[in-house]
Amino acid sequence: MQRRWQQWNRKAHTVLWALVVIGIIAALPLGVTRWQMEKTSKQVEYIFDYRDLVQIASYKARPQSFIQEQLGRMKDAGFTTMALYESSLQELRWAGRLSLYNSDQAGELEGKPPESDENFTYVLFNGPQEVQAYRDLITSTFKSWDIQASPWSYGGHEGLVIETPMEDAVLKQMNPDPLAVQTLHDAGFQILPRLSDRTPFDAAAVEKLFAGYKELGVTRVLFDGDAVKGYEDNAEKSTLYTFAEILNKYGIGITAIENSKQQKGMSTLAYLTHYNVTRLYSLSEGDAYSMESEAIADRFHLAAKDRSIRMFYINGSPISSANKSAITDPLDNLYTALAGNDEEKGAIKKLGELGFQPGKAVAFDYETPSWHKPLKAVVVLGAIAFITLLISAFIPGVAIPVFVLGLIGSAGLYILSKSALEQGLALGAAISAPTLAIIWAIRRVQAHTVGNRRPVGGASESVVQAKAQWLFPGIRAGRRLAMAIALFAATAVISLAGIPFVTGLLNNITYSLVLEQFRGVSMLHLAPIGLSALYVFLYTGESVMGNLRRLLTMKITVLGVVVAVIVGAAGMYYLSRTGNEGQTTSIEVLLRNTLESTFGVRPRNKEFLFAHPLFFLGLFLALRYRAAWVLFIVGAVGQLSMVDTFAHIHTPLHISIIRVLLGLVLGAIIGFVMIAVWQVLEGVWKRWVPRSAQEKMKFKPGA
């Protein structure tokens, strides 16, 4: 019965590998769909924050003239869009639209003693145009807050008295400045309104606002604050759905900000607007001032090419400079960053060389054909099979029950959460592929070494056994190199087999827009390394229990403690470098820029400088030295990194493919160099050791 069960499991392994291959084939059309989608958005917007321009102008002798001058320079530099926040009384005062007074100041202005029990805000418009543009806007805004606003005038100028303290009045948000909107539109800029959810949602007012935006050619909005407009009242009044209907009616999309906490209601609103979403990168005020213009251009270049960013939002603020004894700003630096000069290319030219032209950013043209669903079901079966193969590599004889349990568990998880199922299986397949690749490489080396031991003759039996275990001198160096090349290539192919499962299972626009993220990346960074180490130390001897007993009874030495500390420190450094928050040194930045300018795509440093070369060297050495098998654990870093590259769904597929192939090629070249150096050093050692032994014999008594 036991023999029959083993036969069934061996046959099951064949079936499981067949399912893995079928799953890979099924995932390829899903990848092609994504590849085509990634080509549908090729225009980029360069946006400046108009509020920042107004603030900078407020420190100039002639603010309005300065604004007009800079708008012309911005247009010439390549800025396409101006972002307009919801206005406030404070901002309108900065823009020179009106004046503000509290009750005491208004009393002094009129030559009257202030009211004893009054703390109101007095607004005085600067002219008839401002009266027409802002009176109704201010009145309706404060009415929505149940605050009375009444007519007031002084010196022939009309105004309002608002029955709330000035400190409170300046906090109330209103629609974007209508005069600024018209001025910027007339100057040839696109308008990007920034709307908040700080005021009660008024469907009629919002529709009127967006009808006006449609006439001005507005195609997208950006939200200010931690929630999208309509989120706060959605539970009671379904305002998100109402807002989405208005957006769809006027063909206006929304914008998601990269590297920031997702605003509340963003995912729901994105779904309701049929994912009419573009991603935006925001350059902070500090970076705009402190970064070199060339560095800013390079940052935009990488963001568009590697992260599918189509909108660049540029902030700038006035800076008090003690060295210059003046209030300065970063505007000239930003103009150079975009337009360039005689010595350097600007962002517009760099992106233009990649096919990204300035204009209105559009959302990716995304569709989900009906044939996606059955193909994804096949990919699910392949992923379950892949995970089953990994488990059975450590626990033999359980392939059939594990696969059946995987099917049942996946069906239940699909009912509870389709997203959790897809992410869980994608993570399992991503871990399985590089781990099984390393295990396969270990087994192939074992087949060529441990299975055909050739002990050195003339030694005692114990020495023969030790050398039979730790030294395998039967294969020539040229043959070992050829075998290492074949093993390196085959291991990479097995690892790359995990990629179609990641791209196929996570083939959803929500991942490309980073509205939903692939969870468990930290597990992907650790699990293949840990499992490979487990296999090297426990599964490459005569028995697992024997190896475990030997490890547990090993004596603790100072050298062992030092090695453990070094390994622990290396592990902590490795973890600190993973993810988006990893830090890089100035040397690494220089190396990355060199690779980027040389190849157009930067391979991962840990792959081609570290993991791939050491793994290649390890394969060559492991065919002769048993101790070199530990380098397979290092090799797992490079194998998992290749799969992890494709877990960044917002990176275009062709960029990830080039990055991985470059890493393999460059890593192999460096590995060749390391093998050559090793051979030279080994030859020197072999020549030097016998001579050293002979010299010692000369000085021995009686020699």
In one-letter notation, the amino acid at residue 238 is S
Cα–Cα distance for residue pair 537/554, rounded to 1 Å? 13
Using the 8-state DSSP alphabet, how is residue 200 labeled? -
Residues 6+ apart with CB under 8 A from 117: none
Q: Please state, rounded to an integer, the average pLDDT across all residues of the chain.
A: 88
Query: pLDDT class for 326, splitting at 50, 70, 90?
Result: confident
Q: Taking the domains of the chain in order of start, what are their residue ranges?
A: 2-38+368-454+485-691, 43-86+182-358, 87-174
If residue 545 lies in a helix (H) or strand (E), which one and from where to where?
helix 544-552
pLDDT (mean) for 257-286: 94
Q: Which CATH number fits domain 43-86+182-358: 3.40.50.300, 3.20.20.30, 3.20.20.70, 3.90.1640.10?
A: 3.20.20.30
- The 3-state DSSP class for residue 614 equals helix
pLDDT (mean) for 674-693: 82
How confident is the model at residue 682, as a pLDDT? Answer: 87
- Phi (first) and psi of residue 102, to 5 degrees: -90, 180
If residue 161 lies in a helix (H) or strand (E), which one and from where to where?
strand 157-162
- Distances, alpha carbon 312 to alpha carbons 82, 441, 517, 560, in Å: 11, 46, 22, 52
Q: Is the pLDDT of residue 461 over 90?
A: no
User: In which residue are the tokens 């007519």 written?
Assistant: 151
Query: pLDDT class for 527, splitting at 50, 70, 90?
Result: very high
Q: Is the pLDDT of residue 420 over 90?
A: yes
Predicted confidence (pLDDT) per residue in 289-325, tens digit:
999 999 999 999 999 999 999 999 999 999 887 777 7
Query: pLDDT class for 460, splitting at 50, 70, 90?
Result: very low
Tokens of 55: 């603030």
Q: Is the pLDDT of residue 579 over 80?
A: no
How confident is the model at residue 599, as a pLDDT? Answer: 74
How confident is the model at residue 18, as a pLDDT? Answer: 96
Predicted confidence (pLDDT) per residue in 213-224, tens digit:
999 999 999 999
Predicted confidence (pLDDT) per residue in 369-409, tens digit:
999 999 999 999 999 999 999 999 999 889 999 999 999 99
How confident is the model at residue 77, as a pLDDT? Answer: 95
Cα–Cα distance for residue pair 39/449, rounded to 1 Å? 50
How confident is the model at residue 488, as a pLDDT? Answer: 97
User: In which residue are the tokens 């990488």 written?
Assistant: 302
- Distances, alpha carbon 491 to alpha carbons 120, 278, 488, 665, 691, in Å: 76, 38, 5, 14, 41
How confident is the model at residue 694, as a pLDDT? Answer: 53
Q: Is the pLDDT of residue 467 over 50?
A: no
- Most confident region among 136-140, 322-326, 427-431 by mean pLDDT: 427-431
How confident is the model at residue 577, as a pLDDT? Answer: 57
- Most confident region among 6-10, 463-467, 614-618 by mean pLDDT: 614-618
Cα–Cα distance for residue pair 310/224, rounded to 1 Å? 19
β-strand pairing of 121-125 with 98-102:
antiparallel
Cα–Cα distance for residue pair 232/234, rounded to 1 Å? 6
Q: Is the pLDDT of residue 703 over 50?
A: no
- The 3-state DSSP class for residue 262 equals coil
Q: Given CA atoms 566, 568, 569, 574 in this order, what sign does their dihedral have?
A: positive
Residues 6+ apart with CB under 8 A from 580: 259
Q: Is the pLDDT of residue 443 over 80?
A: yes
Q: Is the pLDDT of residue 432 over 90?
A: yes
Question: What is the maximum alpha-carbon separation in the chain?
Answer: 124
Residues 6+ apart with CB under 8 A from 27: 375, 379, 382, 500, 501, 503, 504, 505
Residues 6+ apart with CB under 8 A from 36: none
Cα–Cα distance for residue pair 254/273, rounded to 1 Å? 8
How confident is the model at residue 575, as a pLDDT? Answer: 54
Angle of CA points 79, 85, 86, to nearest 5°: 150
Cα–Cα distance for residue pair 507/518, rounded to 1 Å? 11
How confident is the model at residue 95, as a pLDDT? Answer: 83
Predicted confidence (pLDDT) per residue in 166-203, tens digit:
999 999 988 889 999 988 999 999 999 999 998 888 89
Contact 623, 483 (CB under 8 A): yes
Query: pLDDT class for 696, splitting at 50, 70, 90?
Result: low
Q: Given CA atoms 580, 585, 588, 594 in this order, what sign does their dihedral have?
A: positive
Q: Is the pLDDT of residue 1 over 90?
A: no
Q: Please count the other Cβ atoms lying within 10 Å of the Cβ belonging to residue 526.
A: 16
Q: Is the pLDDT of residue 252 over 60?
A: yes
Query: pLDDT class for 571, splitting at 50, 70, 90?
Result: low
CA 281 to chain centre: 12
β-strand pairing of 326-328 with 81-85:
unpaired
Rg of the chain taking only CA atoms, in angstroms: 34
Predicted confidence (pLDDT) per residue in 222-250, tens digit:
999 999 999 999 999 999 999 999 999 99
Q: Is the pLDDT of residue 564 over 50?
A: yes
Tokens of 645: 């590259």
How confident is the model at residue 168, as a pLDDT? Answer: 94
Cα–Cα distance for residue pair 97/702, rounded to 1 Å? 109
In one-letter notation, the amino acid at residue 306 is D
* pTM across the whole model: 0.86
Query: Any idea which of 16-25, 61-70, 553-562 has the lowest mean pLDDT?
Result: 553-562
If residue 149 lies in a helix (H) or strand (E), which one and from where to where?
strand 149-154
How confident is the model at residue 676, as a pLDDT? Answer: 95
Query: Any idea which of 146-155, 196-205, 322-331 has the lowest mean pLDDT?
Result: 322-331
How confident is the model at residue 506, as a pLDDT? Answer: 94
β-strand pairing of 357-358 with 326-328:
unpaired
Tokens of 498: 């995990």
Q: Both ends of the chain: CA-CA distance in Å?
A: 68
- Distances, alpha carbon 396 to alpha carbons 387, 400, 427, in Å: 14, 11, 22
Query: pLDDT class for 71, splitting at 50, 70, 90?
Result: very high
Residues 6+ apart with CB under 8 A from 601: 655, 658, 659, 662
How confident is the model at residue 603, as a pLDDT? Answer: 87
Q: Is the pLDDT of residue 465 over 50?
A: no
% of the chain at pLDDT higher than 90: 67
How confident is the model at residue 701, as a pLDDT? Answer: 55
Contact 619, 484 (CB under 8 A): yes
Predicted confidence (pLDDT) per residue in 601-637, tens digit:
888 888 998 999 999 999 999 999 988 999 999 999 9
Cα–Cα distance for residue pair 259/269, rounded to 1 Å? 19
Q: Which of 191, 168, 309, 323 is nearest to 650 (CA)?
A: 309
Tokens of 614: 């050491």
pLDDT (mean) for 579-603: 65
Report, in this order, helix, strand and coil percent for the chain, each rounded to 5: 60, 10, 25
How confident is the model at residue 356, as a pLDDT? Answer: 95
In one-letter notation, the amino acid at residue 382 is G
How confident is the model at residue 325, as a pLDDT? Answer: 76
